[in-house]
Structure 1
Amino acid sequence: MYTMQFWKALAVKAQLALRLLALLAIGFVPVLAVPSAQAANPGQCLLKSSKPLLISSSASLGGVVIDDQCEKVYISNSSANTVDIYSVTNGTKIASVGVGARPSGLDLSADGTKLFVANTGAQSVSVVDVATNTETHRYVFASNFINDTPYSIAAARNGLVFFTTTFSGSGFGGRMMQLDPASGAITQRTDFWFGGTNTEITRIASNADHSLLAVVAGDISSGPVFKYASSTNTFTNEKDLNAFVSSVALDTAGDIVLVDSGTYVLDGNLSQIGIVTGGSYGVAVDPAGNLGYAVSSASQVNVLDLKTVTQTGTLAIGDTVASANYYGFGTGVGQMTISRDGGLLAIITDHGLSLVPTGVVHVVPFATFSARVNLDIREGTSASSSSDEFAAEGHFTLGAGRNGIDLVANPLNFQIGSFNISIPPGSFSGDRESLRYDGKIADYDVRAQIKPSAHGGYQFTLRVKGVNLAGSVLPLTATLAIGDDVGTIALPTGNARFVDTVATSKKDD
Structure 2
Amino acid sequence: MPHSAPSRSRRLSGRGVVHFGAALAVTASILIAASPAVAAAAPIQVGTVSGYSGTGPFDLVISADGTRMYVSNDGDQSISVIDTASNAEIAHYPVSGSGMRRIAIHPTGGTLYVPAANSDSVIVMGARTGVERQVIGFTGRRPSAAAFVPGMSKAYVTNGYTLGSGTSTVSIVYTAGDIESGIVAGYTGVAPQAIVVSPDATRAYTANSISDTVSIIDTTTDTEVGSIALPVGSSPNSLAVSPDGSLLFVSENGSSGVAVIDLTTLTLLGDVAGYSGLAPYGLAFSPDGASVYVANLGSDSVSIIDVATRTETGTVTSYAGTLPTDVAFSNDGSTVYVSSVGSNNIAILSTGIAGSGSGSPSTAGNGETSAAAAPSPQLAATGPVGIDLLAAGAAAALALGAAVIMASRRRGATR
Give TM-score, length-normalised by structure 1: 0.52
**Structure-1 residue corresponding to 2:242:** 251
TM-aligned CA distance change 1:363 to 1:255, over 3 Å: farther
Q: Which residue of 1 aligns with 2:61?
A: 65
- Residue in 1 aligned with 2:289? 289
1:264 corresponds to which letter in structure 2?
A
Partner residue, 1:20: none
Q: How far has the Cα of 1:120 moved from its partner? A: 2.1
Please tell me whether residue 185 in structure 1 is matched to residue 184 in structure 2: no
Match of 2:346 in 1: 353
How far does the alpha carbon of each residue in 1:66-88 deviate from its partner, in whole angstroms, 9 at most, with x for none?
A: 12232221012244332111222
SS of residue paired to 2:113: strand
| Distance change (3 Å), C-alpha of 1:116 and 1:317 | farther
Matches for 1:373-392 after TM superposition, within 5 Å: none
Counterparts of 2:261 and 2:46, CA distance in 1 = 29
Name the aligned partner's letter for residue 106 of structure 1.
Answer: I
CA contact (8 A) 1:193 1:238 kept: no
Name which of 90, 93, 103 aligns with 2:89. Answer: 93
User: Which position in structure 2 is the counterpart of 1:224?
Assistant: 213
Contact 2:97 2:123 in 1 (8 A): no
Quote the Cα distance in structure 2 between the aligned partners of 1:301 and 1:66. 19
Q: Distance in 2 between matches of 1:353 and 1:312?
A: 23
Which AA in structure 1 matches 2:325?
Answer: G
- In the alignment, the residues of structure 1 paired with residue 259 and residue 326 of structure 2 have an alpha-carbon distance, to the nearest angstrom, of 16
Q: Closer, same or farther in 2 for the Cα pair 1:58/1:250, shift >3 Å?
A: same
Cα separation, 2, equivalents of 1:278 and 1:212: 31
What one-letter code is carried by the residue in structure 2 that aligns with 1:301?
Answer: V
| C-alpha distance after superposition, 1:408-453 (max 9, x if no partner) | xxxxxxxxxxxxxxxxxxxxxxxxxxxxxxxxxxxxxxxxxxxxxx
After superposition, give the CA deviation of every residue in 1:194-217 in whole Å (9 maximum; x if it has no partner): 3xxx43352113456766532110
Matched length: 298
Distance 1:358 1:226, change over 3 A: farther
1:344 aligns with 2:326: no
Distance 2:329 2:217 in 1: 20
For 2:299, what is the secondary structure of its paired residue? Answer: coil
RMSD across aligned C-alpha pairs, in angstroms?
3.3
Amino acid at match of 1:251: S
Q: What letter corresponds to residue 78 of structure 2 in structure 1?
A: T
Partner of 2:130: 134
Q: Counterpart in 2 of 1:301?
A: 302
SS at match of 1:80: coil
SS at the partner of 1:284? Answer: strand
How far apart, CA to CA, are the structure 1 residues paired with 2:184 and 2:284?
Answer: 28
Using the alignment, how far apart are the partners of 2:350 and 2:204 within structure 1? 25
Aligned partner of 1:114 in structure 2 is 111
Shift of 1:232: 6.2
Q: Kindly indicate whether residue 120 of structure 2 is the aligned counterpart of residue 123 of structure 1.
A: yes
Paired residue type of 2:214: V
Pair 1:304–1:79, CA change in 2 (3 A): closer
With over 3 angstroms needed to count, the CA separation of the structure-2 counterparts of 1:358 and 1:163, relative to structure 1, is farther
Cα–Cα, structure 1 residues 178 and 122, in superposed 2: closer, same or farther, change >3 Å?
same
Q: How far apart, in 1, do the equivalents of 2:348 and 2:91 lie?
A: 18
Following TM superposition, by how much is the alpha carbon of 1:51 offset from its aligned partner in structure 2, in angstroms? 2.3
Distance 1:208 1:317, change over 3 A: farther
The separation in 2 between residues aligned to 1:133 and 1:209, in whole angstroms, is 30
Per-residue displacement from partner, 1:138-181 (whole Å, max 9, x unpaired)? 2244546xxx23211111112211111237xxxx6432111112
Letter in 1 for 2:288: A
1:33-62 per-residue CA deviation (whole Å, 9 max, x = no partner) reads xxxxxxxxxxxxxxxx96243345561334
What do residues 297-347 of structure 1 show as CA deviations (whole Å, max 9, x unaligned)?
Answer: 33221111111111222334623434xxxxxxxxxx523333444333332
Are the aligned partners of 2:55 and 2:75 in contact in 1 as well (CA < 8 Å)?
yes
Contact 1:124 1:141 in 2 (8 A): no
Give the conservation status (yes or no) of the 8 Å contact 2:68–2:83: yes
Q: Is contact 1:59–1:78 with CA below 8 Å preserved after alignment?
A: yes
What is the identity, as a one-letter code, of the residue corresponding to 1:178?
I
Distance 2:223 2:244 in 1: 17
Query: Cα 1:231–1:290, aligned 2, differ >3 Å: closer, same or farther?
Result: farther
Return the offset for 1:218: 0.8
Cα pair distance change 1:212/1:143, threshold 3 Å:
closer
Q: Which residue of 2 aligns with 1:174?
A: 168
Q: Which runs of 5+ in 1 are unaligned?
A: 1-48, 323-332, 366-398, 402-509
For 1:253, what is the secondary structure of its paired residue? coil
Task: Judge conservation of contact 2:261–2:267 (CA < 8 Å) in 1.
Answer: yes
Query: 2:385 corresponds to which residue?
Result: none
1:151 is aligned with what amino acid?
S
Q: For the Cα contact (< 8 Å) 1:57–1:353, is it kept in 2?
A: no
Change in Cα spacing, 1:193 to 1:241, as seen in structure 2 (3 Å) is: same
Percent of aligned pairs with the same residue?
Answer: 19
Q: 1:128 to 1:66 in 2, by over 3 A?
A: same
Equivalent positions of 1:348-427 (< 5 A) are 348-349=339-340, 350=342, 351-360=344-353
**In 2, are the aligned partners of 1:100 and 1:121 still within 8 Å (CA)?**
no
Deviation at 1:95, TM superposition (A): 0.9
Cα deviation for residue 113 of structure 1 reads 2.5
* Contact residue 48 and residue 348 of structure 2 kept, 8 A: yes
**Could you say what secondary structure the match of 2:118 adopts?**
coil
Secondary structure of residue in 2 paired with 1:104: coil
Q: What one-letter code is carried by the residue in structure 2 that aligns with 1:166? A: G
Rg: which structure is higher? 1
**Deviation of residue 362 (structure 1)?**
8.0
Aligned mates of 1:352, 1:107 — CA distance in 2: 20
Instruction: Tell me if the contact between 1:267 and 1:273 (Cα under 8 Å) persists in the aligned partners.
Output: yes
> Is 2:259 the partner of 1:264?
yes
Instruction: Compare relative contact order (CA 8 Å, sep 6+) and give the higher one, 1 or 2.
Output: 2
Residue 186 of structure 1: CA displacement? 0.8
Is 1:209–1:252's contact at 8 Å kept on the other side of the alignment? Answer: no
Q: In the alignment, does 2:147 pair up with 1:154?
A: yes
Instruction: Check conservation: 2:321, 2:347, Cα contact below 8 A.
Output: no
Structure 2: unaligned runs, 5 residues or longer: 1-42, 361-415
1:53–1:200: structure 2 CA closer, same or farther, 3 Å change rule?
farther
Trace 1:21-60 onto structure 2 (pairs within 5 A).
51-55=45-49, 59-60=55-56
Moved more, 175-184 or 210-219: 210-219
Asked if the contact 1:141–1:186 (Cα under 8 Å) also holds between the matched residues in 2, the reply is yes
